[in-house]
Structure 1
Amino acid sequence: MPLPATAPIASPPQAAFGDTIEILPKIFHDDTNLAVMRRQLDADLAASVAAQLAVDRRLDWRWRGGVGEALAEDLLNHLPRPSQAKPLVEDITLICEAMAYLFDTQTIGVRLQRLEGAMCPRFHVDNLAVRLVSTYAGAGSEWLPEPAVERAGLGAPRPGKPDPLRDAQSIRRLGCGDIALLKGEGWVGNEGRGLVHRSPQPAPGEPRLLLALDPG
């Protein structure tokens, strides 16, 4: 008598790292929920970032629309020191163009924020399909490899609910300047497997500058 067919057991999602942009399409692999292009900011870009943060002013720029001159002009108009912003604007525009090309979309949601505290301090997953994050200043986003995750602990805390973090020694952190694609729960076929991550707590007097992009 033949045995009943069983569904294949999905392997734990993996992370992919590289030093060139060719690593980012790895996010389309079924077994990959994090793709990271490692990079360090060059001197001109780092100086441009530092100039914007030297002004003690709130920065929370948001854009949803096409990628082009309008995006660059709007960003420039919202930065504290536009005369020193060219390298930063060019870098963000280039990343937006790459995101639009990779996901074949005409619309990008963009957010550039100065953060004095942890925006999402609890480990969580995103309900969207995918998000690109890059930290221009301060500590990079923290994430967990699958063996360190207790998924029953995700979501709003309540009495008796376990901690989503199984092992504090397993916390990983993206580097400043890294460009990372984080696959969420909204990616078709990735339900229950979205990357678990959180915002780090900035050091006192050292704000973060975070870029986040959503395609479509």
Structure 2
Amino acid sequence: MSSASLNCRSYFDPSFDMKKKYRRAVIGKSPEVFTDIYLEQINIVVWQRRLSDTLQADVTRFLVSNPSFQISITVTPQNVLSRIRKFLGETSRLDLSKNISQLVGMFCCLFEIERVGLRLAVLDYPMCPKFHVDRVPCRLVTTYHGVATEWLPHDKVNRSKLSGVSERTSDNQIGLYKSQNDIRQLCQGDVALLKGEIWDRNDNAGLVHRSPSVVGDQHRLLLTIDFGD
């Protein structure tokens, strides 16, 4: 929606608040959509990608042999492949290592940064079960295996209720959102950029999201990439 359209709307809709921030999602089939994260009105960009059969097989083998794997490291596009292969195996898991390296390179190129914080974890529990926003400029998330991240469209969130989220109450009980139908969910393989609260002029507009419930003996393989120090 253009600024002109927003200005015009205030004349015809008495309830329209010009001071309220408007945010929306961009979803596409190629990583070219990532550049839309720079648009002020966008707070999530999703590249809907399908994992190759060889990559999925690599991930499955990795999960079998590493059911509680977790690393958190700082890497650069130049050293990420060698560092990841030290953790995943020099000769095995090559497809997974290369894919992670590619995403690190994309992230650094997109934001013109030299290093990132990378976290790769096998999870059998919801790491962040409550809806929340991140105090970061932007975070890349992708789930290589299992159920993926849940999120709320900006216009479906009662942001005044975010501070009321606690372990003793559910998100819908406090009125953070109106209906279960408001919840969106990424798919396995999707790569998403989640704009956070400290992106320039994005205070009170960071994407609201949470970890999905993990049922039974299910496992997730989650990768997150953040701006490095």
Q: TM-score, normalized by length of structure 2?
A: 0.85
Q: 1:10, 1:28 → 2: CA distance?
A: 19
Alignment coverage as a number of residue pairs: 208
Match of 2:218 among 183, 189, 206: 206
| Pair 1:136 & 2:144 matched | yes
Q: Do the aligned partners of residues 11 and 155 (structure 1) sit closer, same or farther apart at CA in structure 2, a change above 3 Å counting?
A: closer
Q: Flag structure 2 segments of 5+ consecutive residues without an equivalent.
A: 1-16
Q: Kindly state the Cα deviation for residue 83 of structure 1 after the two structures are TM-superposed.
A: 3.8
Cα offset for 1:56? 4.8
* SS of corresponding position for 2:43: strand
1:73 and 2:85 matched: no
Residue 8 of structure 1 deviates from its aligned partner by 4.4
Q: Work out whether 1:102 is the aligned partner of 2:88.
A: no
Asked if the contact 1:139–1:175 (Cα under 8 Å) also holds between the matched residues in 2, the reply is yes
Using the TM superposition, give the Cα deviation of residue 10 of structure 1 relative to its aligned residue in structure 2, in angstroms. Answer: 4.4
* Residue 153 (str. 1) matches residue 161 (str. 2): yes
Structure-2 residue corresponding to 1:4: none
Superposition deviation, residue 73 in structure 1: 2.1
- CA positional deviation for 1:100: 0.4
- The counterpart of 1:91, out of the listed 99, 102, 115, is 99
Q: Give the conservation status (yes or no) of the 8 Å contact 1:66–1:108.
A: yes
Instruction: Return the offset for 1:82.
Output: 5.3
Q: For 2:66 and 2:92, how far apart are their aligned partners in 1?
A: 16
List alignment gaps of at least 5 residues for structure 1.
1-6
State how far apart, in whole Å, the 1-side matches of 2:53 and 2:202 are. Answer: 38
**In structure 1, what residue type is equivalent to 2:201?**
G
Q: CA deviation at 1:15?
A: 0.2
Instruction: Give the SS at the match of 2:65.
Output: coil
Name 1:172's counterpart in structure 2. 184
Per-residue deviation, 1:203 = 2.4
Checking the alignment, whether the CA contact within 8 Å between 1:150 and 1:162 is kept in structure 2 is: no
Go from structure 1 to structure 2 and tell me whether the alpha carbon gap of 1:109 and 1:170 turns closer, same or farther (over 3 Å shift).
Answer: same
CA distance in 1, matches of 2:209, 2:142: 14
CA contact (8 A) 2:50 2:189 kept: yes
Distance 1:155 1:126 in 2: 13
Moved more, 122-131 or 159-168: 159-168
Seq. identity, % = 32
Per the alignment, in what secondary structure is the counterpart of residue 82 of structure 2?
helix
Equivalent position of 1:36 in the other structure: 46
The two structures have a TM-score, normalised by structure 1, of 0.90
Q: Report whether the alignment pairs 1:20 with 2:30.
A: yes
Distance 1:134 1:157 in 2: 25
Pairing 1:55–2:65 present: yes
Shift of 1:9: 3.2
Asked whether the equivalents of residues 114 and 209 of structure 1 are also in contact (C-alpha less than 8 Å), the reply is yes
Question: What is the root-mean-square deviation of aligned Cα atoms in Å?
Answer: 2.0
